[in-house]
């Protein structure tokens, strides 16, 4: 009985310390400014630990899957700050979100099909300087949006200088410039490479440093065999 009484007294002391430090759960109007500030500090540290333990890629919000995790985690943990939900249960819910995000990220890493299912896939908008209007309309990307991203990201104004433009899974548009400044078809690129190689051979044979027979044996020094 004495042991039970001692354990009960310890639990009562911890509960009193919890109420003094964090205030009562579910009664935000009764919390003081100090108690709310302590909750803010604790939730910030716990949230930072959950994000760091979960996946550092979620910080960059590369996909909607990562952005959803950040939004849900912030929404859940914020309830512990204003006291609308119990502090310990809110932290437990945040931990469950982190575990779910980690498991889904592991599955997407192991299975490409599962990754496309939860993260989506990239869409080619421009190929060899030509706009794919069907892909543009399906992705709800206007021509003005594309031209704006070309100026901001690719630092050009002419779409003919873009070999490939893709709408990535993150929602950003990536650009790959053509090598010669103008987008060309693969057949024309192969022809250009072949033409350059042929010109290189001709230039090599016409190298001014090459020593010819006439240079080695001037006409004045060639012996007259018929003399």
Query: Over the stretch 114-135, which tens digit does the pLDDT of each residue have?
Result: 888 888 889 999 999 899 999 9
Region 154-167: what's the mean pLDDT?
Answer: 90
Residues 87-111 have pLDDT tens digits of 889 999 999 999 998 898 888 889 9
User: Look-up: residue for tokens 């950003």?
Assistant: 172
pLDDT reported for residue 180: 63
- pLDDT level of residue 198 (50, 70, 90 thresholds): very low
- pLDDT level of residue 26 (50, 70, 90 thresholds): confident
Encoded tokens for 66: 């990562």
Residue ranges and CATH numbers for the domains of the chain are 7-117 (no CATH), 123-177 (3.30.240.20)
More reliable by pLDDT, 188 or 115: 115
- pLDDT level of residue 201 (50, 70, 90 thresholds): very low
Whole-prediction pTM:
0.60
CA dihedral 87, 46, 60, 139 (to 10 degrees): -20
Region 160-184: what's the mean pLDDT?
Answer: 82
- pLDDT level of residue 186 (50, 70, 90 thresholds): very low
């Amino acid at each position: 009985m004495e042991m039970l009484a001692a354990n009960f007294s310890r639990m009562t002391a911890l509960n009193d310390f919890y109420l003094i430090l964090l205030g009562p759960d579910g009664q935000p109007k009764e919390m003081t400014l100090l108690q709310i500030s302590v909750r803010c500090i604790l939730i910030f540290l716990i949230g930072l630990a959950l994000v760091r333990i979960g996946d550092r890629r979620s910080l960059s919000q590369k996909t909607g899957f990562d952005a959803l995790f950040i939004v849900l985690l912030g929404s859940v943990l914020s309830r512990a700050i204003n006291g609308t939900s119990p502090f310990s249960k809110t932290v437990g819910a945040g931990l469950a979100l982190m575990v779910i995000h980690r498991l889904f990220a592991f599955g997407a890493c192991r299975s490409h099909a599962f990754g496309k299912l939860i993260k989506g896939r990239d869409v080619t908008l421009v190929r060899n300087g030509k706009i794919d209007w069907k892909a543009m309309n399906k992705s709800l990307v206007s021509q003005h949006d594309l031209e704006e991203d070309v100026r901001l990201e690719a630092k050009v104004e002419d779409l003919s200088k873009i070999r490939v433009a893709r709408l990535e899974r993150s929602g950003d548009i990536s650009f790959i410039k053509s090598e010669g400044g103008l987008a060309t078809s693969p057949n024309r690129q192969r022809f250009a490479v072949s033409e350059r190689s042929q010109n290189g051979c001709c230039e090599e044979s016409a190298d001014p440093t090459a020593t010819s027979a006439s240079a080695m044996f001037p006409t004045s020094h060639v012996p007259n065999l018929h003399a």
